[in-house]
Amino acid sequence: MVVNVQVPKTSLNRSRTARLARAMHRTLIGILIGCASATLADESSMMSVDTIVANMTAARAQNREHFRAYQITREYTLTGKDKQTPNSVVVATLSFVPPNTKTFTILSHTTNLGERVVRSILEAEVAAVQAPETIELSIANYAFMLASIEAWHGRQCYVLDMMPRRKEKGLLHGSIWVDASTFLLHRVMGQPAKSPSWWLRQPHIEFSYGPVEGMWLQTGSLSSANVRVFGPYTMTSRNREYHVGEITGSIADTIPGTFR
């Protein structure tokens, strides 16, 4: 004897819905676990600030080992409110002999003001080479914090915020762009920890760096400030010619990050 039991359709629908809900629940849990694992993996592979700074310090030391005697012809342009018309153009040569001898000669200038400003900049640069440990980007001079990772002239860079440990003219409060592969500097930007002069308000400084015949050197700069009584002024520099050993040429169009 066969007994046919009729199961209500509503019961079947509930059973299927329950099974589907359980399957979706398991799938969702799997996705969440996978995302969490990926996040943990990314966090574990993220380089710490201390490691970035240590690698940057090692790269800087290695770069210094490659230093050779060189001479750079550098052009400075000073502009005021009318940025289209230079107030002054100064051309100078900067000579370096390893390990810490740097001298300069001002070749030409269109105004005395421009000559005085450039002379003070170059005098500070010469002094910095003789005692680099006092202003270099190190944990002795700065506290660092990782701000972001971004591209700069086609290179992935760690962007670190830097806070000076002392209120001195040679230290900056700002940010640096460190190459994620070579750990060499591409860019430094900030404000002096201490204003270099009572006449200057809101001073801002930027430096760019790039390769020069196997060395990594400063290739350009931009400085701006509001000068009391006279208003805003901007000073830009670019390396026009260089001489390394027996090699002479123009690098203005080959160095990434050069200010123009």
DSSP string over 173-197: EEEEEEETTT--EEEEEEEESS-S-
Tell whether the model's pLDDT for residue 259 goes beyond 50: no
Picking from 147, 220, 221, 157, the residue whose alpha carbon sits closest to that of residue 185 is 157
| In a domain? residue 218 | yes
Contact between 43 and 63 under an 8 Å Cβ cutoff? The reply is: no
Give the mean pLDDT of the chain. 81
| In a domain? residue 256 | no
Adjacent-strand bridge partners of 76: 90, 237
Read off the CATH number of the domain in which 81 is found: 2.50.20
Q: Can you tell me which residue has the tokens 């001489």?
A: 243
User: What's the pLDDT score for residue 260?
Assistant: 28
| In a domain? residue 99 | yes
- Retrieve residue 141's tokens: 């001079």
| In a domain? residue 219 | yes
- List, for residues 34-92, the tens digit of each pLDDT value: 444 343 334 434 799 999 999 999 999 999 999 999 999 999 999 987 777 788 999 99
φ, ψ for residue 182, nearest 5 deg: -95, -20
Task: Provide the domain count of the chain.
Answer: 1
| In a domain? residue 70 | yes
* Enclosing domain of residue 66: 49-250
Contact between 82 and 108 under an 8 Å Cβ cutoff? The reply is: no
Picking from 257, 63, 76, 73, the residue whose alpha carbon sits closest to that of residue 157 is 257
Tell whether the model's pLDDT for residue 248 goes beyond 70: no
Give alpha helix (H) positions in the chain. 9-45, 49-65, 112-130
* pLDDT (average), residues 115-120: 90
| In a domain? residue 163 | yes
Contact between 223 and 204 under an 8 Å Cβ cutoff? The reply is: yes
| In a domain? residue 20 | no
Cis peptide before 99 (omega within 30 of 0): yes
| In a domain? residue 14 | no
